[in-house]
Structure 1
Amino acid sequence: MTSLPVLGAAMPLDTVETLRDWLIADQRDLEIQDFIHADVLNGDWQPRVDRARKLLDGYTGRLGIHGPFWGLNIANPDPDLRALVTRRMDQGLAVCEALGATQMVIHSPYTTWMYNNLDNIDGQRQNVIDLTHETLDPVIARAEAAGVTMVIENIEDKDPDARRELALSFDSAAVQVSIDTGHAHYAHGSTGAPPVDYFVKSAGETLHHIHLQDADGYADRHWAIGKGTVNWPAVFAALAPLGDRPRLIMELRDKSGILPSAAWLESLGLAR
């Protein structure tokens, strides 16, 4: 019998302090959430890195960060704003280098509106890809040299294939796909997107990261696992062929739900 997949979690350093033993006991995947804000990235973030390194003494698991995303569009059509987004991505990679992190989550440029309009005007589908390249191409070499994979997370995405095709267009190990189960479930329930397990199957070998959160198909709930209506057996069945490539990161609004969520999934024989 194969062992159950090991769950990781996303959390700020204050929560790392309380869950340190749980993380280190099984060297679980960890995603640090302290570096998403502009004021942090524009300021002196080194003390946060120093604190993380001290807290994670003895940790040998796979470490990542949630990259900056507030107000950022990696396919922004305005060149001045696009330059700012590139700068934020570069700042995030600098943090990864200082931490020794090997993954950075960034947000998809695709919107619900795009789903109905990308093919309304000739060339718009390719335009999104080209603009994303203009944003990310300047930092790809840095990511590759640092061994950091930028994983593109679905936000409003209704078409699970478009983001995979965007990632593949870079032809680089430094750009891959992320799925957020709650975002996919929202898109399924509210905009007619496929169910969450279809998102997983679409991503296939490009899936290197997944945010596990429960939701009701109406909003971005980030509930504890088991509190919503995501079909978890179907999700984990779709993940099974991928082995341990995707980092299974519980991203919950209430961090006190991390351990109960892990226990709930273990009780179903899905993960631990």
Structure 2
Amino acid sequence: MTPLKIGACMMSHEVSDHRDWLFDADRDIELQDFGSYQALTHELDDRVAAAKAALSGHHGRVGIHGPYEGLDMDNKDPELRPLITARFLKALEAADRVGARQMVLHSPYKRWYQWNLFNKPDYAATVLGRVHDIMKPVVEQAEALGVTLVIENILDVDPATRRDMVDSFGSDAIALSIDTGHAHLARRMSGAAPVDYFVRDAGDQLKHVHIQDLDGHADRHWAPGEGEIHWVEVFRALADCQSAPHLVLELRRKTDIPKGFAHLQGLGLAI
């Protein structure tokens, strides 16, 4: 199995702490500066300038994490849905301005959806219709900008549900993201499949992976090796993926990036 090159997620002001490791190998970087209301309104210009300065000299792939708090793609209120669309569009503007070609957004599918799938007539189609109402203009703008939206599993139980949602847009501008910790947490909480199954289900729709470990109790964002995830099997699945997804450590403590990388490197999985 060929080791895979991995990068990391961080705020712009943290890039300098890991600059040699990131820049010398042109590693993937995901900037997490653009998730809040403040970041996408009155702080936008300053944050864009800071991000561009931090990335100066970097020749690897760049993405951003888009906004998510209170911004459910399956919002039932028709007056609120245009506000969510507008926030996602503003984040796309930020991505384009800093040179990012990927933006992470959160999946709307939860255990409640899975358990109630056949409880109401046309439930799946109704939810998907609301998602399209919010996301159709965002996908169209992503196409125009050359940015790929990657939809991250959060509380998803069946990975095929999110994959089908992505496929329903019929666009290369929307694809799949997997958070390894969220997948394992869903396994413990909801009986979901193991992490490597999420990867294999995504196949060549997979464009992005958040790499984090946990204990199955909470969303820890620990360094690989500190939790329960079977990393060898996850990377076997990733090695079979032909879509070259961005692979980024998403750790709560950025000081643990070297330790997490060293663990995966020691297993012969990462370079």
TM superposition score normalised by structure 1: 0.97
Q: Determine the structure 2 residue equivalent to 1:114.
A: 113
Offset at residue 44 of structure 1 (A) = 3.2
Moved over 2 A (4+): none
Aligned residues: 271
Q: Determine the structure 2 residue equivalent to 1:37.
A: 36
Q: Distance in 2 between matches of 1:105 and 1:191?
A: 23
Q: Determine the structure 2 residue equivalent to 1:192.
A: 191
Q: Determine the structure 2 residue equivalent to 1:208.
A: 207
Q: Determine the structure 1 residue equivalent to 2:70.
A: 71
Question: Per the alignment, do residues 176 and 244 of structure 1 end up closer, same or farther by CA in structure 2, a change over 3 Å counting?
Answer: closer
Q: Distance in 2 between matches of 1:52 and 1:115?
A: 39
Q: Secondary structure at the match of 1:40?
A: coil
Q: Determine the structure 2 residue equivalent to 1:27.
A: 26
Q: Distance in 1 between matches of 2:106 and 2:155?
A: 10
Note the aligned Cα RMSD (angstroms).
1.1
CA contact (8 A) 2:199 2:238 kept: yes
**1:110-146 Cα deviation digits (max 9, x unpaired):** 0111110022112111112111111011122211111
Offset at residue 15 of structure 1 (A) = 1.2
Q: Distance in 2 between matches of 1:139 and 1:66?
A: 15
Question: Per the alignment, do residues 261 and 243 of structure 1 end up closer, same or farther by CA in structure 2, a change over 3 Å counting?
Answer: farther
1:14-163 superposed matches below 5 A: 14-163=13-162
Q: Distance in 2 between matches of 1:128 and 1:246?
A: 28
CA contact (8 A) 2:2 2:269 kept: no
2:131 partner letter: T
Q: Distance in 2 between matches of 1:12 and 1:205?
A: 28
The runs of 5 or more residues in structure 1 that have no matched partner are none
Offset at residue 22 of structure 1 (A) = 1.2
CA contact (8 A) 1:5 1:244 kept: no
CA contact (8 A) 2:73 2:134 kept: yes
Q: Distance in 1 between matches of 2:219 and 2:126?
A: 28
2:125 partner letter: Q
- Percent identity among equivalent residues? 47
Q: Distance in 2 between matches of 1:41 and 1:74?
A: 18
Q: Distance in 2 between matches of 1:18 and 1:235?
A: 28
CA contact (8 A) 2:196 2:234 kept: yes
Moved more, 138-147 or 253-262: 138-147
Q: Distance in 2 between matches of 1:44 and 1:72?
A: 19
1:247 partner letter: H
1:122 partner letter: P
**1:201-258 Cα deviation digits (max 9, x unpaired):** 1111111001000011121110111000001011001111114611111100011111
Q: Secondary structure at the match of 1:76?
A: coil
2:239 partner letter: A
Q: Secondary structure at the match of 2:80?
A: helix
Q: Secondary structure at the match of 1:150?
A: strand
CA contact (8 A) 1:20 1:55 kept: no
Q: Determine the structure 2 residue equivalent to 1:265.
A: 264
